[in-house]
A = this chain, B = another copy of it.
Amino acid sequence: MATMVAGDVKDLSLAAVGHQRILWAERDMPVLRAIRERFEVEKPLAGLRMSACLHVTAETANLARTLVAGGADLVLVASNPLSTQDDVAASLVNDFGIAVYAIKGEDESSYYRHIAAALKHLPHVTMDDGADLVSAMVFIALNRLDDIHTEVRGWASGLSDLERQSLVGDVVASMEETTTGVIRLRAMEKDNVLKLPVIAVNDAMTKHFFDNRYGTGQSTLDGVIRATDMLIAGKRVVVAGYGWCGKGVAMRAKGLGAHVIVTEIEPIRALEAAMDGFEVMPMEKAAKVGDLFITVTGNIHVIRSEHFAVMKDGAIVCNSGHFNVELALDQLEKLAGGKKTSPREFVDEYTLSDGRRIYILGEGRLINLAAAHGHPASVMDMSFAAQALATEWSLQMRGKLENKVYNVPKEVDQWVSNLKLQTMGIAVDTLTAEQTKYLQSWEMGT
């Protein structure tokens, strides 16, 4: 007789396929596996309630297994309505007994009902991919119930003020996985409303240096190709944003033979893009020449009415930034006067009044998760190893952390990168005694 695992997934019969995919991903996650093996013995998370709001993919499943192996009582919910892999979600519930609330293509109500489930778990540690859990808890603590989705509000309104404060007050620390989330959290810190300690896992070198660049780079182009089957060589690819993700996307588009155009807000990044051999221009101008547009800015309405209006017939537009606000799709809809069809999965065709057609991929949600399988396991191995170790560290620091945004300790980066290199069969040099001394001293010059 089975204990019912809580959760809300699409179809438990998908579990077998999902199980296979989880194990396949595990092959490329040796660092995380090493942590899981230690956690199984040491149980550092024993007695801990955790709520994680993450993309529910095969890689995340291996993080979930690791946390549970460490003793955590985990609830996992989707961090994006389109990014859930239903077979993986099914397997987590069915084969690993983990409570998962996530359905690919769920509507807003369902999405926030799942967020509510994560909150009701009264977590000691949270994990966020965009700060949705933290911001909900903060709104509740601030009694700003109008600012939260009705599906969360219902439950929250039943809480006493004390319970509202405890919800966030009981959190030892919250892990944040994205640039976007870290920006939001720092804004909260600046506004003095950050009511819990945050670990900016995104800012770990082993995370943003690799996952945002190599992971987003490859998987974004992969998503575009799966959605369209287009040849990248010879195309004018406009990349909006030259942060770590934008660098990755531009590098891969170039590597596939595109003529890459970068748009930026920051002059230093624009200079860097130019020095890297890319053409740099404002979106106003790029809009007229691009064949493919990819936004990775973390900002809102980066491509909007004035840009859609001047695009070439057949232009293809997508987003790989965290939130689906980078494309002003409502403005495009207005331009098209509702002339919108779907010629292909993940592709919407908007026809402007003069007959020009613009194609939007994945409804403007991050294309690497909407049309492909997100970051490859091999990079998530490092990101999630950092997540697991940062969680462990935050427990060791329990009571000593203030309500601030903390960086992951350097030791975590060192440990993760060393083990990763080993598993790749790569050795580095070690300092000689003479070198160690030289680096510490300031006496020796010309």
List B contacts of A251 (CB < 8 A).
Answer: 257
Give the interface size class of chain A. Answer: 35 or more
Give a binary string over A232-267; 1 marks a CB under 8 Å from any B CB, 0 the rest.
Answer: 111000000000000000011011111110011111
List B contacts of A79 (CB < 8 A).
Answer: 446
List B contacts of A420 (CB < 8 A).
Answer: 267, 271
Among residues of B, the one whose C-beta sits closest to the C-beta of A237 is B277
Residue of A27, A185, A344 with highest tally of chain B CB at under 10 A: A27
With an 8 A cutoff between CB atoms, is A3 at the interface? no
With an 8 A cutoff between CB atoms, is A330 at the interface? no
Cβ contact within 8 Å between B147 and A275: no
Out of B231, B314, B376, B434, which one reaches A218, CB within 8 Å? B231
List which A210-245 residues lie within 8 A (CB) of chain B: 210, 213-215, 217-218, 222, 225-226, 229-234
Cβ contact within 8 Å between B426 and A25: no
Cβ contact within 8 Å between A275 and B429: no
With an 8 A cutoff between CB atoms, is A421 at the interface? yes
Residue of A25, A218, A258 with highest tally of chain B CB at under 10 A: A218
List B contacts of A267 (CB < 8 A).
Answer: 414, 417-418, 420-421, 428
CA distance A301 to B434 in the complex (A): 8
Q: Which of A60-68, A116-124, A278-286 lies at the interface?
A: A278-286
CA distance A301 to B439 in the complex (A): 12
Cβ contact within 8 Å between B281 and A24: no
With an 8 A cutoff between CB atoms, is A113 at the interface? no
Out of B185, B271, B417, which one reaches A442, CB within 8 Å? B185
CA distance A256 to B214 in the complex (A): 9
With an 8 A cutoff between CB atoms, is A441 at the interface? yes
With an 8 A cutoff between CB atoms, is A440 at the interface? yes
Among residues of B, the one whose C-beta sits closest to the C-beta of A189 is B442
CA distance A420 to B260 in the complex (A): 20
Nearest-Cβ distance from residue A246 to partner chain B, whole angstroms: 13
Cβ contact within 8 Å between B131 and A445: yes
Residue of A131, A210, A259, A429 with highest tally of chain B CB at under 10 A: A429
With an 8 A cutoff between CB atoms, is A354 at the interface? no
Nearest-Cβ distance from residue A53 to partner chain B, whole angstroms: 9
List 15 extra interface pairs beyond A214-B233, A231-B378, CB under 8 A.
A79-B446, A135-B443, A185-B442, A187-B440, A231-B375, A234-B274, A234-B275, A234-B378, A257-B276, A265-B429, A265-B431, A267-B414, A267-B421, A282-B427, A300-B438
Pick the 8 closest A-B CB pairs, nearest first: A255-B255, A231-B376, A267-B417, A187-B442, A184-B442, A231-B378, A300-B438, A214-B233
